Amino acid sequence: MLTAPARPLRLGSLEVATPVVLAPMAGVTNAAFRQLCAEQGAGLYVCEMITSRGIVEGDPISLRMLSFAEAETVRSVQLYGIDPVYIGKAVRILCDEYGVGHVDLNFGCPVPKITRKGGGAALPWKATLLGEILTEAVSAAKPYDVPVTMKTRKGIDDDHLTYLDAGRIAQDAGCAAIALHGRTAAQHYSGTADWDSIATLKQAVDIPVLGNGDIWEASDAIAMVEKTGVDGVVVGRGCLGRPWLFRDLAAAFAGDDAIALPTLGEVAGWMRRHVELLAADMGEERGCIEFRKHVAWYLKGFRAGGRMRHALATISSLADLDTLLADLDHDEPYPVGELGTPRGRQGSPKRVALPDGWLSSREVTRIDPAAEDATSGG
């Protein structure tokens, strides 16, 4: 554990008591899940990523994602875009009309349909365009005293690293912090995150740096801070089916290393609360359907059989859920073999799809608007 309690994370005028940020994950970090995590411990909980074009053009699906829970004292949104003008307009709308108190810009998505158009993790290669986007976002947010941060990866691949340039550009543009996922786009979510690159970035810039990658337990977060010197951590896949991780993180950053593992009965309680929050936000039937994807994550490593897992993954009402949860062995201890192991998608390394001639220059190139399709958080 840290020898002394961690300092709060400061992003401009915004102070986050526990230096932990929930990474946006498409289809996961909606208002219900964010509230569930926020109920466990302090931190900054970021809304699912939304495209700037969707906000500016009033796309109903995009605007529906701008839903916030009562527990969210700071409305935090991750924004994705490729056009400085649209980014600026979207930031103003978020701050002025939705009371957003923190905007994070995403440049970490490795999805081929996005990088093939020059978006996502491919965009930082165009250093001039990156600077224009960040500068416009910071300028748009400044009148509202809203901090702007950015998230990126190490680069396209090991031969085309961009994170140090991105850190310098973010600092010059006035960003409040930069978050680095210690993988290249070519790695996707495979292999091991390179914490050394995070440490290198921390030494290279004066703005706060957040570390992301392979934080599966609270002890991993503490280890990252001690190894890299980062100002905070970004947690993604590690919390899938484990909202109590934020309780453990809050305790760990407060200097308490007494982490209690939940029984299956306690996990069932979180499952029930999760569906309850989803139902309150989107209706009972839709909330149950939305929850189905989480079942495997919650039960990972437990002895619940295939029939039970299937039944839970097909629920359509809270009554059905309650009946099934009652049949679980509530005294079953947490499967310690799952501690410290990867969760969610992993995949394998693959060549990054890029526009023709993309790597020949670092200067501005017009990017296909199709690059602003829905993406993952990266």
The answer to whether 150 touches 178, Cβ cutoff 8 Å, is: yes
Q: Is 153 annotated as a binding residue?
A: no
Q: What angle do the packed helices 318-326 and 264-282 form, to 10 degrees?
A: 180
- CA separation for the pair 335, 69 (Å, rounded): 31
CB atoms within 10 A of CB 180: 32
Q: Is 237 annotated as a binding residue?
A: yes
The DSSP bridge pattern shows strands 177-181 and 209-212 to be parallel
Q: Is 26 annotated as a binding residue?
A: yes
Query: Closest Cα partner for 276 from 35, 63, 6?
Result: 35
Q: Is 24 annotated as a binding residue?
A: yes
Using the CB atoms, write b or e for 90-120: b if 16+ within 10 Å: bbbbbbeebebbbbbbbbbbbbeebbbbbbb
- CA separation for the pair 361, 344 (Å, rounded): 35
Using CB atoms within 10 A of its CB, is residue 373 exposed (0-12), middle (13-18) or buried (19+)?
A: middle
* Residue with token string 């190894």: 227
In order, the DSSP letters of 168-225 are HHHHHHT-SEEEEESS-GGGTT-S---HHHHHHHHHH-SS-EEEES---SHHHHHHHH
Catalytic residue among 95, 109, 175, 288: 109
- Chain-centroid distance, C-alpha 350: 22
Q: What single letter denotes the amino acid at residue 190?
A: S
Q: Is 181 annotated as a binding residue?
A: yes
Q: Is 151 annotated as a binding residue?
A: yes
109 is catalytic: yes
Q: What single letter denotes the amino acid at residue 35?
A: Q
Instruction: Please name every residue paired with 105 in a beta bridge, in sequence order, or none if there are none.
Output: 79, 150
Helix, strand, coil percent values for the chain (each to nearest 5): 45, 15, 40
DSSP reduced 3-state for 100:
coil
The answer to whether 58 touches 261, Cβ cutoff 8 Å, is: no
H or E stretch including 123? Answer: none
**Known binding-site residue numbers:** 24-26, 78, 151, 181, 236-237
Active site residues: 109
**Known binding-site residue numbers for FMN:** 24-26, 78, 151, 181, 236-237
